[in-house]
Amino acid sequence: MALCYKSLFWWLSISLIVVCCMFPSNTMGSEPSGGIEVGADNQVNPDSKTLSPSQNKLAALADILDSMVLLQKELELKKKELKNAETEEKKQRITDEMNEIITRLDSRENEFKTIAVGIQPQGDISKPLKIVDLKEEIQEIFRPFIEELKDITSHPREIEKLRKEIAFYEKHLAAVQQGISNTSVLIKEASDNKVKKRLAEIEKQLHEKEKDVQRHITQSQYQLDQKIESKKSIVKVLQGAGDDFFKTRGINLLLSVVAFFVVFIMFRFFYWWIFRSRRANSAKERSFYSRLFEVIYHVFTFFLAVSASLLLLYNFGDWMLLSVAMIFLIGVAWTTKNGFAMFWEQAKFILNIGTVRDGERLIYDGVPWKVVSLNLLTTLENPELAGGVRRLPLQALMGLQSRPFVNDELWFPTRKNDYVVLADGSFGRVIMQSPEMVNLEVLGGCVKTYPCSSFLDQNPINLSMNSFGIGVTFGIDYDHQADITRDIPAKIYKTVSEEIVKREYGEHLLDLLVEFKEAAASSLDILIFVKFAGPAAEFYYMIGRAVQSIVVDACNKNGWGIPFTQITVHNAQSAIENPCNNFHAADHNLGNPDK
């Protein structure tokens, strides 16, 4: 056992080294989606690789300052535009743009401080720590996946948005034009100069509003036309998405899957190398702790393989695939929650504390089996069946029960070439028996097939296993009543014993019994019982006929009469008068035809 754990330690060490080698620090052009945004004003000098770390830091700080200067100039321009803005909508749009520029300036300021100081800024120390919101954290984890879906559907959503905007502005334009028309009518009808002047001002505002709305419609229509012209067919979109996927995420996904299977197969090979070889060299039954260690090992193998796959995606910075993998794992965990009881029962089977245990006997599909190996893939064996090995998942054993067995228990009632008699009257030789069916060669050479469980339901009598006996009842006439108990049985015994050994199966005769059986209704019955060894089973019916013929020959030789059944017809009137007496008289008349 010490050797086993030592091998496990070295194997784990080698596995971790291999896994680490699979996770290079610089991957194939992949960038973490959460990295610092680098624009055209923030490109790194290609010659910076030849500079010292301090010079690289100073160069990066200079680039950030240049970017901040450009952003400050852009902010000043936006302030001027805000002063000259005429409509509220334009002012709101410029204000939003200014807020975005201010946010970018703050981000550049934080970047400058982080690079200069060498540590992340901790913010205001007077503020309390932020309480972790689980909902926000989950949204943050799955945000890359949602953003990726939004990017994929961005083009059709933008087209739909523009169409809705155009419909909205057209509806608004119609209302404005209706207002202009109404105002014009009122101006013509007004006589008061003050009212007419105010209506003229309103009409002027409505005309400006009309121009503004028409401008919005024209701009949105132009954008819509551009979007529709640039719209690709679904085939090209899928082809482009596929090309992009396999150039970036496809490679990451492939490597992640390879990492999973490499780690999983590697540890499975180690399991086979250590445990299987150890089990082959040991005749002892596996202990509970050995089985417990195997269960933990299987769980650890799966966990390590999944971890290797996720770590590879994390190292590549592919947060979208990492989010998909997390969603998949959460779905698997949620599914297994409902089947926990089943998994627990299977774990008990592997630990050999369930209703089916290793090395015991169980009935599966109506056939007895020996549990050779109880594991994730259980092996059952029946040595009496051709191809008598079955490999079943643990789930197939749920609800079954096994029991200990003794060495002389039969695993099947027959063997190949055994002769059997079935409950349906069939007699024949077993030419094949497998876990699925039993083929029986019956009289005439034709083959009768039974499903294995149906064959056992026929309660087969195996004539070939040990020995078998045939009993023949033969009737002698009541005229020989004086000799029926001694002389006649002795003569029949002598005749049968002399004649039966002359037959081809005579050498297998084990015992012969000839005795007076009973005084029957119409005859005195003699019982002839012959016992043969199993090799004579193929002559089962022939032996019965031979005994009958030998006894008939003995009767002819000794002048013994063979009676026949007599039926007496009685008077109906007398039967009505005394039915009991007539019944007994009829019974005695059936005993001897001469009486």
Q: What is the pLDDT of residues 37-55, one digit of tens each?
A: 333 344 444 444 455 666 6
Q: Say what the pLDDT of residue 339 is.
A: 67
In this prediction, residue 589 has a pLDDT band, given cuts at 50, 70 and 90, of very low
**φ, ψ at 39 (rounded to 5°):** -100, -170
Report the distance separating Cα 78 and Cα 90, nearest Å.
Answer: 11
Write the single-letter amino acid at 369.
Answer: W
As a whole number of angstroms, the distance between CA 439 and CA 432 comes to 5
Tell which wins on pLDDT, 100 or 346.
Answer: 100
Residue 24 has pLDDT above 50, yes or no: no
* pTM: predicted TM-score of the whole model, two decimal places: 0.50
pLDDT of amino acid 395: 85
Residue 38: predicted pLDDT = 35
Is the pLDDT higher at 137 or at 25?
A: 137
Least confident range from 70-79, 140-149, 361-370, 378-387: namely 140-149
Per-domain residue ranges of the chain: 55-118, 155-231, 247-338, 350-403, 419-462, 467-558
Q: What is the pLDDT of residue 579?
A: 36
CB 399 within 8 A of CB 440: no
540 and 530 Cβ atoms separated by less than 8 Å: no
Rounded to whole angstroms, how far apart are CA atoms 179 and 210? 10
Question: 350-403 is classed in which CATH architecture?
Answer: Roll (2.30)
Task: Provide the pLDDT confidence category of residue 200 given band limits of 50, 70 and 90.
Answer: confident
Residue 391 gets the label, from left (phi > 0), alpha (psi -120 to 50) or beta, of: beta
Whole-angstrom distance, CA of residue 184 vs CA of residue 162 = 32
Architecture of domain 467-558: 2-Layer Sandwich (3.30)
Q: What pLDDT, on a 0 to 100 scale, did the predictor assign at position 578?
A: 39
Q: Which amino acid is at 34?
A: G
The first and second tokens of residue 428, run together, are: 């024949």
pLDDT in tens, 212-252: 888 888 888 888 888 777 665 555 656 665 666 666 677 78
- Output the pLDDT for position 437: 93
Task: Please classify residue 349 by burial: count the beta carbons closer than 10 Å to its beta carbon, then call 0-12 exposed, 13-18 middle and 19+ buried.
Answer: buried
Q: Which residues contact 43 (CB under 8 A, 6 or more apart)?
A: 63
